[in-house]
């Protein structure tokens, strides 16, 4: 997850590595149809036998009038973090777990979700400035972030490390003392986990890990490949996904550290959207749509049974 910028880290691959997977996803034959109250329908390929998602009038009625009139839900997302979000082979369409769920939420609210690519460290400031209606970008819910935005939770992630194949320095998530560790700027891994690791290492008389922060997950992976860092600390499922596309380059090491709080939709304070989005996610969990999207992206390990508004534990 990513912190104020991102409570979880993300991991990105180069388009060369991701393209085969994206083509396979884009080529799925059957689709889950998200239909809005206007009668428009936007087919989204999600696999065979999935339910359609339609507007729920009682939930849509709770959407602020100005947003209902606009008809579009602008969703900020840093499209470089598969399987949460990345660009499809067309280089324009944002696909992934967050994108699919955003479209489904929009449909329940009677709105068309418009995915907008934004650098992760610009998402929270953009929400505060009302540039976007919501953000879905593997963002971890934290008490500190809840001072700035509201959250509606929908997953709970864990953190692992990527290391060169063979793990020559014998690193693990609980043994990073003295290592050069790549993290994405603004993530929980940068702002919370590595500082805690530094204190723990120093208490044992060992050197603290050296944090190397990069703009995005692609840069962290390139730094690992080039030997600029010894490991990358990021969301475990994203690292697993990346490793499956580049297994000859790096492997994922554990043990998996459960992130301290769940992740969720980030929403500007006072927007009036937290409650209807919470109700929309609850509906999608109840009718099987959430599970279908989770299954599509292979994210069973981070799925949760119920959503909460501002569910951070720390």
Q: In this predicted model, what pLDDT tens digit does every residue of 222-232 receive, in sequence order?
A: 999 999 999 99
158-258 CATH fold: D-Maltodextrin-Binding Protein; domain 2 (3.40.190)
30 has a pLDDT exceeding 90? no
pLDDT score, position 50? 53
Q: Are 276 and 58 in contact (CB under 8 A)?
A: no
Q: Which of 5-19, 46-60, 195-209 has the lowest mean pLDDT?
A: 5-19
57-275-262 Cα angle (round to 5) = 125
Better-scored residue on pLDDT, 304 or 8:
304
pLDDT score, position 1? 54
| 15-157+261-302 against 158-258: fold identical | yes
| CA–CA separation, 101 and 230 (whole Å) | 34
Antiparallel, parallel or unpaired: β 72-77 and 134-135: parallel
This prediction's pTM: 0.81
203-to-165, 198, 206, 243, 287 alpha-carbon distances in Å: 30, 9, 7, 33, 50
15-157+261-302 CATH fold: D-Maltodextrin-Binding Protein; domain 2 (3.40.190)
245 has a pLDDT exceeding 90? no
Q: What is the separation of C-alpha 25 from the centre of its chain, rounded to a whole number of angstroms?
A: 18
Alpha-carbon dihedral sign for residues 298, 301, 306, 307? negative
- Residues contacting 304, CB < 8 A, separation 6+: 153, 154, 155, 156, 262
Better-scored residue on pLDDT, 215 or 198:
198
pLDDT score, position 192? 87
Q: In this predicted model, what pLDDT tens digit does every residue of 100-143 receive, in sequence order?
A: 999 999 999 999 999 999 998 899 999 999 999 999 999 999 99
Question: pLDDT band at 247, cuts 50/70/90?
Answer: low
191 has a pLDDT exceeding 80? yes
Residue spans per domain, the chain: 15-157+261-302, 158-258
pLDDT score, position 218? 83
Question: pLDDT band at 280, cuts 50/70/90?
Answer: very high
Better-scored residue on pLDDT, 48 or 111:
111
DSSP tag of 159 = E
């Amino acid at each position: 997850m990513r912190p104020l910028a991102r409570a979880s880290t993300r991991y990105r691959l180069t388009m060369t590595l991701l393209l085969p997977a994206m083509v396979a996803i884009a080529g799925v034959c059957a689709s889950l149809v998200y239909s809005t109250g206007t009668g428009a329908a936007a087919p989204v390929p999600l696999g065979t036998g999935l339910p359609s998602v339609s507007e729920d009038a009682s939930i849509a009625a709770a959407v602020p009038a100005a947003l209902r009139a606009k008809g579009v839900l602008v969703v900020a997302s840093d499209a470089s973090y598969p399987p949460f979000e990345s660009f499809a082979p067309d280089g324009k369409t944002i696909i992934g777990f967050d994108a699919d769920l955003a479209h489904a939420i929009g449909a329940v609210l009677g709105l068309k979700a418009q995915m907008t690519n934004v650098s992760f460290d610009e998402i929270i400031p953009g929400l505060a400035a009302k540039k976007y209606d919501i953000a879905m970008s593997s963002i971890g819910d934290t008490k500190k972030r809840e001072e700035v935005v509201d959250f509606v939770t929908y997953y709970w992630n864990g953190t692992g490390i990527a290391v060169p194949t063979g793990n020559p320095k014998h690193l693990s998530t609980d043994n990073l003392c003295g290592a050069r560790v790549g993290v994405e700027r603004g993530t929980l891994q940068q702002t919370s986990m590595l500082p805690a690791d530094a204190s723990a290492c120093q208490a044992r008389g060992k050197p603290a890990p050296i944090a190397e922060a990069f703009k995005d997950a692609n840069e962290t992976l390139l730094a690992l490949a080039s030997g600029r860092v010894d490991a990358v600390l990021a969301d475990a499922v994203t690292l697993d996904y990346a490793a499956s596309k580049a297994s000859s380059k790096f492997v994922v090491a554990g043990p998996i550290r459960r992130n301290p709080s769940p992740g969720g939709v980030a929403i500007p304070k006072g927007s009036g959207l937290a409650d209807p989005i919470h109700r929309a996610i609850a509906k999608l969990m109840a009718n099987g749509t959430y599970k279908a999207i989770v299954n599509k992206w292979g994210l069973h390990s981070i799925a949760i049974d119920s959503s909460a508004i501002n569910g951070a534990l720390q």
